[in-house]
Structure 1
Amino acid sequence: MSEQAVVKRQFGHRARLAMTPALSLKLDEQAHAARAMWNLLHAWWQMMPKDQRTLAHADAAIRQSRKDIDFLAVVPAQAAQAVLKTYVQAWKNCWGGRADAPNFKTRIRTVMSLDIPQGQHLNIVRVHRRWGVVNIPKVGRVRFRWTKDLPVGKRADQNNRITGARLVKDDLGWHISFRVQTLEPEPEPHKGPEVGIDVGVTIPLALSDGGKFEHGAWLTDREQAKLLCLERRSAALRQYRKRGEKASKRLQHVYDQIARLRAKAKRRRQDWQHKTTTTIARTYGTVVVEALQITNMVKSAKGAIDRPGKNVARKAGLNRSILAEAWGRMVAMLDYKLTRRGGNLVKVPAPGTSQRCSMCGVTTPGNRESQAVFVCKNPDCGWSGNADHNAGRNVLHLYRIGLVAIPAAGRRSRQARQRVQPATAR
């Protein structure tokens, strides 16, 4: 008889919905009604005395509003309760110092979304190798892209199930994000080697063992030419719009085309990041990265009126390239994927990793002659090589000497809290 600890794992899976124009219009109406319900709830909260701002009173106000206002009735009852729950949680986050106070949601800047809090209402069925069908309240049965095995049907039980979902609309259409709960054996420690990773713009990921991960342009030449043409067309149409005037239908159509192209590039970038981080998490047991302050790195070089900056346009281009790589999301992906496989993610201080020679350990500001070439200025060394791989070796060296800046935030503590009773195997 052997015992093995199991861990309750909760994750999300996003899938694309195949919506007809009629079904998409129904979801649009529900999302707009849910946003209006949030705004009415916020206005009610501000008008009521503090002693009457209770969950019971807010719930009664929402129920009455769905009876009195016709367009609010299109929101399913469970989705309306989810709006209330999210609003109350927003205030708890504010009181806890984790976020700002909730405010009204505007029609333009707010992401259209709707929550389905009960998983049993989804009735998910896999009908094809690539397609599944999900039930959306007050909309009907809708097909979605099946790209991951989900605990549905006979595979679902109390510990392995879908607890809910959220509908989100972006520039490429409606998507559904399933909330999945599974019970898995606690992973054994990963026996893979250690590796240091240096992130960059020329080489996105340079590894200390000499490996690297690169990618091409996220848009094809034809798509880039189309994007440039659309941006020029929008600039020409904006010349005829007065300040504060609403955009014309023609200009809004151009904006939508630009947004769809940029959303397509973002989706391809996320796909590359997922595949790359999965490969790294499977290969290496300990991954060491730099604790970068990305917000400080992408500050503008414009300066002030009395002290103007230098190379402002060049720095702005570098900032766009840094933000396009999405280093923070890459590290977050590595964190949870390594945790699931028993690996470890460690962060070390970033200063000096690109100027220190990984062979002799001498740090000289002039060591890095260019973006790609590193030449040690120490007369006793004189080593030269790729600058990004040199920085990756320095990152790994800082971990091995015990100079750790920020360990993976709360990962082991979260895993300990989610640990349940050992499962007994006969």
Structure 2
Amino acid sequence: MVTERACEKRQFGHRARLALTPAQAQLMDTQAHAARALWNLLHDWWTMLPRDKRSLAAADAAIRQGRKEIDWLAVLPAQAVLKTYFQAWKNCWEGRAGRPDFKARFRTVMSVDIPQGRDLCITRVHRRWGMANIPKIGRVRFRWTKDLPVGKRADTANRITGARLVKDALGWHIAFRVQTLEPAPEPRHGPEVGIDVGVTVPLALSDGTTYGHTAWLTGKEQTKLGRLERRAAHRKSFRTRGERTSHRLRATYDQIAGLCARAKRRHLDWQHKTTTVIAAKYGVVVVEDLNITNMVKSAKGTVEVPGKNVAQKSGLNRAIIGEAWGRTVELLTYKTARRGGTLHKVPAPGTSQRCSVCGVTTPGSRESQAVFACKNPDCGWVGNADHNGARNILHVYRTGLALVPAAGRAVVRRARRVKPATAR
């Protein structure tokens, strides 16, 4: 008897670092600025037209006419911008994104879209590097850190459908859009675990396990960041309102952005590795349904009713935002589903005040950030506050008060689509 499982289509992205020559980097910058300008022109043209005259054919004809009259439009594949713009409207109509808008020069991520995967012509050079063809740029190298469906491994079901070139403070990267056909995972039943997120202890599990991390920047990097921030504040003091930012000040901003991007990359790497371990070990993961937007609101109040402990609350808000709890839950959601597990959310109120041993909530039990001491005379249990909250989160799930989001239910349904066993 062999179990035959149904296959499901999986779409995901993979981001790799590009190794560009100075000439290629300059061409890519020019192409990105041209793509942003063409997006703005297309957006203005689209919004000014009457609704009955808006169509893909009319936009394509307008772009072809514009390429004949404007010479700088020849540096990029203009049809890629058109497809990206229409996809943005499609995402807006289907409720997956907001309305497309004007792209400002300094507040927009520089990017160029490659809508067709067959234009990339990806080849693997050796273990660490691969080569891809970028329209109007040529062959470029990228860091090979994941096996991609290219060459003999590529077919109709397993292939690269497109890519996007993105520039951040650390340079240019290529984000592949990958489509694969994989067997649906078999449902897993346990073990169950509750997770309490925090600032001092990032992740505390109900079985007593904790996952922490050190500072994302080293001591030298933090010293350098402080020096750059003081330098930027000093140079900004000489800039009048409305005056263009000087090249020195912008160069300082770029150095600050590079250090912040490095810290973010290390944080994301830690999140991916930690969530992978949790998803592989547990079948049911339970987290709190936190409203992070309300948690990080400012406490400054108004002129009539000023807030209290504003500086302390600002520091707490920065720490909460820096931990990126929402991204951790998002990673756990799809990683547990890929392994046949499930992720559930439970109501947050009361999970940190209730005693996980006796089940009684008494005032003053949370003596400090790290210690929970039950004030119930019949109990008196003392333990770690984070582990106590994680056990309470798991208890709320077992009592039947779990709240599964719509996205999580869809993922779980796809993961549980299994055919019955058949004999061969």
> Is TM > 0.5 for Structure 1 vs Structure 2?
yes
Identify unmatched segments of 5+ residues in structure 1: none
Amino acid at match of 1:341: R
Identify unmatched segments of 5+ residues in structure 2: none
After superposition, the Cα gap between the structure-2 partners of 1:388 and 1:222, relative to the gap in structure 1 and judged at 3 Å, is same
Does the CA-based 8 Å contact 2:363-2:375 persist in structure 1?
A: no
Of the candidates 198, 205, 213, which is equivalent to residue 215 of structure 1? 213
Amino acid at match of 1:247: T
Report which stretch shifted further, 61-70 or 226-235: 61-70
Number of residues of Structure 1 aligned to a counterpart in Structure 2: 423
After superposition, the Cα gap between the structure-2 partners of 1:417 and 1:25, relative to the gap in structure 1 and judged at 3 Å, is same
Amino acid at match of 2:351: T
After superposition, the Cα gap between the structure-2 partners of 1:418 and 1:156, relative to the gap in structure 1 and judged at 3 Å, is farther
Does the CA-based 8 Å contact 2:124-2:131 persist in structure 1?
A: yes
1:104 aligns with 2:102: yes
Of the candidates 182, 186, 209, which is equivalent to residue 184 of structure 1? 182
Does the CA-based 8 Å contact 1:6-1:421 persist in structure 2?
A: no
- The secondary structure found in structure 1 opposite 2:30 is helix
- Distance in 2, matches of 1:118 and 1:263, equals 29
- Distance in 2, matches of 1:322 and 1:391, equals 17
- Distance in 1, matches of 2:183 and 2:4, equals 10
- Distance in 1, matches of 2:294 and 2:40, equals 35
Q: Percent identity?
A: 72
State TM-score, norm by structure 1.
0.95
- Distance in 2, matches of 1:420 and 1:349, equals 31
1:355 aligns with 2:377: no
Alignment of 1:48-63 (within 5 A): 48-63=49-64
- The secondary structure found in structure 2 opposite 1:3 is coil
How far 1:318 moved relative to its partner?
0.2
- Distance in 2, matches of 1:420 and 1:137, equals 42
After superposition, the Cα gap between the structure-2 partners of 1:160 and 1:420, relative to the gap in structure 1 and judged at 3 Å, is farther
- Distance in 1, matches of 2:229 and 2:109, equals 23
How far 1:96 moved relative to its partner?
5.2
Residue of structure 2 equivalent to 1:33: 34
How far 1:84 moved relative to its partner?
2.0
Residue of structure 1 equivalent to 2:6: 5
1:67 aligns with 2:76: no
- Distance in 2, matches of 1:73 and 1:261, equals 35
Residue of structure 1 equivalent to 2:228: 230
- The secondary structure found in structure 2 opposite 1:14 is strand
Alignment of 1:124-273 (within 5 A): 124-273=122-271
- Cα deviation code 1:240-275 (max 9, x no counterpart): 111111111111111110000000000000000000
Alignment of 1:260-339 (within 5 A): 260-339=258-337
Does the CA-based 8 Å contact 1:339-1:411 persist in structure 2?
A: no
- Distance in 2, matches of 1:123 and 1:173, equals 22
State TM-score, norm by structure 2.
0.95
- Distance in 2, matches of 1:380 and 1:410, equals 40
Residue of structure 2 equivalent to 1:409: 407
How far 1:157 moved relative to its partner?
1.3
Report which stretch shifted further, 24-33 or 45-54: 45-54
- Distance in 2, matches of 1:417 and 1:177, equals 25
- The secondary structure found in structure 2 opposite 1:409 is helix
Does the CA-based 8 Å contact 2:4-2:419 persist in structure 1?
A: no
After superposition, the Cα gap between the structure-2 partners of 1:390 and 1:118, relative to the gap in structure 1 and judged at 3 Å, is same
Does the CA-based 8 Å contact 1:289-1:395 persist in structure 2?
A: yes
Amino acid at match of 1:284: Y
- Cα deviation code 1:287-345 (max 9, x no counterpart): 00000000000000000111110000000000000000000011000011111110100
Report which stretch shifted further, 184-193 or 153-162: 184-193
Residue of structure 2 equivalent to 1:15: 16
Does the CA-based 8 Å contact 2:184-2:415 persist in structure 1?
A: no
- Distance in 2, matches of 1:420 and 1:135, equals 39
Amino acid at match of 1:367: S
Does the CA-based 8 Å contact 2:125-2:131 persist in structure 1?
A: yes
- Distance in 1, matches of 2:124 and 2:197, equals 40
